[in-house]
Amino acid sequence: MNTSTSSSAPQGALPRIAVLATGGTIAGSAADVTNTAGYQAGVVGVDQLLAAVPALSTIAQIHAEQVASIDSKDMALALWTTLAQRVNALLSTDDIDGVVITHGTDTLEETAWLLHLTVKSAKPVVLTAAMRPASALSADGPLNLVNAVTVAASPAAHGQGVLVAFNNRIHSARDVVKTSTFAVDAFQSPEVGALGWVQDGRVEFQRSVVRPHTAATEFVIGATWPDVEIVASYAGASRVAVDALVAAGVRGIVVAGTGNGSIHASMQQALADAVSQGVAVVRSSRVGSGHVMRNGAAPDDAFGFVTANSLNPYKARVLLMLALAAGGTGSVALQRAFDTY
Ligand code: SIN
């Protein structure tokens, strides 16, 4: 990990913000300024990203670290451990007032949610990203970075959990999802909307997150991760994938079900068999908004399934991994985690 501190004029009492770079399109580069799809993610270093935005020195004293240089589709569990541990270490000192993480958009919602559950500080942690590479005409990364640092430097962001600043909006890590493959306004919080907005140095929150997060959770970041996989249900789905996962020894399976988390009968029987072999099964939905609540009798009580509430399958997997790592077993204990967080 390389570290550096951005140079700037005398900074008085400006907040001290750590910018941790991990790669992504915000650090992407293409041969042509009009190219916004065929580029290489994660090749522009953090110092270059910061140098492109001199205005940052009027908002905060920046301490920069290059934690990784990846396309976030390749995010690894070991890197999650490194990142969460680094955020916790920085925030535990009196030298840092908040953290900004630059990240690829593709798995940003998963990393943000993981940190929302495992960072042990009320200081702001703000993720940001870009849909257009740094080399593009009208690149969105520089303004997103300014806005993320502005939010992290704002007293209003204290105690709000992990946040995502993107296209002038501030989202909670719990709610935010990527909803477009190409649009600059790619991040939304379905059903509940953004927490607030940031524009021209002003930060305004219009609501707060209600569910416990950060220091109020029971979860700590660990070095080992229980193996949890995701399967989808669809027309003609079979039991093949579930049986293969159980044979491979997974500890949990999240189902991206149809509609209200419903599951094709063939696959559902395989999942019931999986529970009887000690595998945790969580029903979520592939729909993209809404929630999946317990169905009373079948299939949840009858088969020992857990429901994901309003978490999408990818976030449900993160919570299931943390809950299993914390020693949670059985559908009652795991359902409590999904109903709490
Ligand atoms: C990535 O997720 O690293 C690439 C895509 C992006 O950042 O938009």
Q: What angle do CA 150, 156, 161 make, to 5 degrees?
A: 90
Residue with token string 């520089």:
142
Per-residue pLDDT tens over the stretch 257-305: 999 999 999 999 999 999 999 999 999 999 999 999 998 767 999 999 9
Q: Which of 159, 181, 216 is the last residue before a domain boundary?
A: 216
Spell out the residues 6+ positions from residue 46 whose beta carbon is closer than 8 angstroms to its own.
2, 4, 19, 21, 27, 64, 65, 66, 102
Q: Are residue 173 and residue 271 in the same domain, yes or no?
A: no
Q: What is the pLDDT of residue 298?
A: 74
* Ligand 1 pocket, CB under 6 A: 23-25, 41, 71-73, 104-106, 129, 131
Alpha carbon of 277 to ligand 1 centroid (Å): 38
Residue 290 · residue 310 · CB < 8 Å: yes
Q: What is the pLDDT of residue 10?
A: 43
φ, ψ for residue 2 (rounded to 5)?
-90, 145
Number of Cβ within 10 Å of residue 250's Cβ equals 17
DSSP 8-state code for residue 258: B
φ, ψ for residue 133 (rounded to 5)?
-65, 160
Q: Is the pLDDT of residue 73 over 90?
A: yes
Q: Which of 25, 128, 214, 307 is catalytic?
A: 25
Q: How far apart are CA 295 and CA 302, in angstroms?
A: 10
Average pLDDT over residues 33-46: 94
Q: What angle do CA 116, 337, 179 make, to 5 degrees?
A: 50
Annotated active-site residue 181? The verdict is no
Q: Are residue 240 and residue 212 in the same domain, yes or no?
A: no
Q: Which of 71, 108, 127, 145 to mutate to test the pocket of ligand 1 (most atoms within 8 A of CB)?
A: 71
Query: Pick the residue with more confidence: 42 or 9?
Result: 42
CATH number at residue 154: 3.40.50.1170
| DSSP-assigned letters across all residues of 8-72 | -S--TT--EEEEEEEESGGG-B-SSTT-SSS-BTT-S-HHHHHHT-GGGGGT-EEEEEEEEEE-G
Q: Are residue 46 and residue 86 in the same domain, yes or no?
A: yes
Count of helices and strands (H, E) across the chain: 9, 15
Spell out the residues 6+ positions from residue 87 whose beta carbon is closer than 8 angstroms to its own.
20, 99, 101, 115, 119, 125
Q: What is the mean pLDDT of the chain?
A: 95
Can the peptide bond before residue 15 be classed as cis, meaning omega within 30 degrees of 0?
no
Residue 185 · residue 131 · CB < 8 Å: no
pTM of the predicted model as reported, rounded to 2 decimal places: 0.96
- Does some domain include residue 221? no
- Does some domain include residue 244? yes
Number of structural domains, the chain? 2
Per-residue pLDDT tens over the stretch 108-122: 999 999 999 999 999
β-pairing verdict for 196-199 and 169-172 = antiparallel
Q: Are residue 177 and residue 293 in the same domain, yes or no?
A: no
Q: Are residue 93 and residue 204 in the same domain, yes or no?
A: yes
Average pLDDT over residues 237-253: 98
Q: Are residue 16 and residue 76 in the same domain, yes or no?
A: yes
Spell out the residues 6+ positions from residue 26 whose beta carbon is closer than 8 angstroms to its own.
49, 102, 103, 104, 128, 129, 130, 134, 141, 144, 145
Per-residue pLDDT tens over the stretch 196-230: 999 999 999 999 999 999 999 999 999 999 999 99
Alpha carbon of 196 to ligand 1 centroid (Å): 24
- Does some domain include residue 75? yes
Q: How far apart are CA 272 and CA 140, in angstroms?
A: 46
Q: Is the pLDDT of residue 9 over 50?
A: no
Q: Are residue 131 and residue 69 in the same domain, yes or no?
A: yes
Q: How far apart are CA 126 and CA 312, in angstroms?
A: 21
Alpha carbon of 55 to ligand 1 centroid (Å): 24
Q: Are residue 209 and residue 242 in the same domain, yes or no?
A: no
Alpha carbon of 187 to ligand 1 centroid (Å): 13
Per-residue pLDDT tens over the stretch 133-148: 999 999 999 999 999 9
- Does some domain include residue 223? no
Q: Is the pLDDT of residue 2 over 60?
A: no
Q: What is the pLDDT of residue 7?
A: 34
- Does some domain include residue 252? yes
Residue with the smallest CA separation from ligand 1 atom 7 is 104
Residue with the smallest CA separation from ligand 1 atom 2 is 104
- Does some domain include residue 316? yes
Residue 191 · residue 289 · CB < 8 Å: yes
Q: Are residue 49 and residue 101 in the same domain, yes or no?
A: yes
| DSSP-assigned letters across all residues of 71-125 | -GGG--HHHHHHHHHHHHHHHTSTT-SEEEEE--STTHHHHHHHHHHH---SS-E
Q: Which of 105, 108, 178 to mutate to test the pocket of ligand 1 (most atoms within 8 A of CB)?
A: 105
Per-residue pLDDT tens over the stretch 167-195: 999 999 999 999 999 999 999 999 999 99
Q: What is the pLDDT of residue 297?
A: 62
Residue with the smallest CA separation from ligand 1 atom 1 is 104
Q: Are residue 209 and residue 246 in the same domain, yes or no?
A: no
Atom of ligand 1 nearest to the CA of 106: 2
Q: Are residue 45 and residue 74 in the same domain, yes or no?
A: yes
Provide the residue range defining the domain that includes 74.
2-216
